Amino acid sequence: MRKSELIDAVAERSGLKKSDAHDAVEAFMKAVQSALVDGDSVSLVGFGTFKVNYRAPREGRNPRNNEPVKIPACSVPAFTAGKTFKDLVNKSSDD
């Protein structure tokens, strides 16, 4: 599902106009991004948690010449699905 399809689905399920659904999806994404940039996490009970994970510096290998490469530390956004969400996905894959 692409962003435009998500907006269509939100509009259909909520009864909002597509422009209002677009604004709602944009606002949600910006709120999550702002929270993560500020070092917070966003927990949606039953759905999951958006958070920032820290990756320590490490050494990798250049696949072209197999020489070692230093990979710097970084922070990466992550999503962990909640139990209800996982159960729903697993139930649909069992059918």
pLDDT value for 35: 97
CA distance 65 to 17: 54
Q: Please state, rounded to an integer, the average pLDDT across all residues of the chain.
A: 94
Q: List pLDDT tens digits, range 22-44.
A: 999 999 999 999 999 999 999 99
Return d(Cα 9, Cα 16) in angstroms, integer. 10
Domain ranges of the chain: 1-40, 41-95
Confidence check: pLDDT of 64 > 90? yes
pLDDT digits (tens, 9 = 90+) for 74-86: 999 999 999 999 9
Nearest to 25, CA basis, from 1, 48, 41:
1
Question: What secondary structure, in 3-state letters, does 61-82 show?
Answer: ECCCCCCEEEECCEEEEEEEEC
41-95 has CATH 4.10.520.10 classification = yes
What count of other Cβ atoms lies within 10 Å of the Cβ of residue 18? 13
Supply the pLDDT for residue 95.
Answer: 58
**Is residue 91 pLDDT above 90, yes or no?**
no
Q: Is the dihedral angle over the CA atoms 54, 57, 58, 59 positive or is it negative?
A: positive
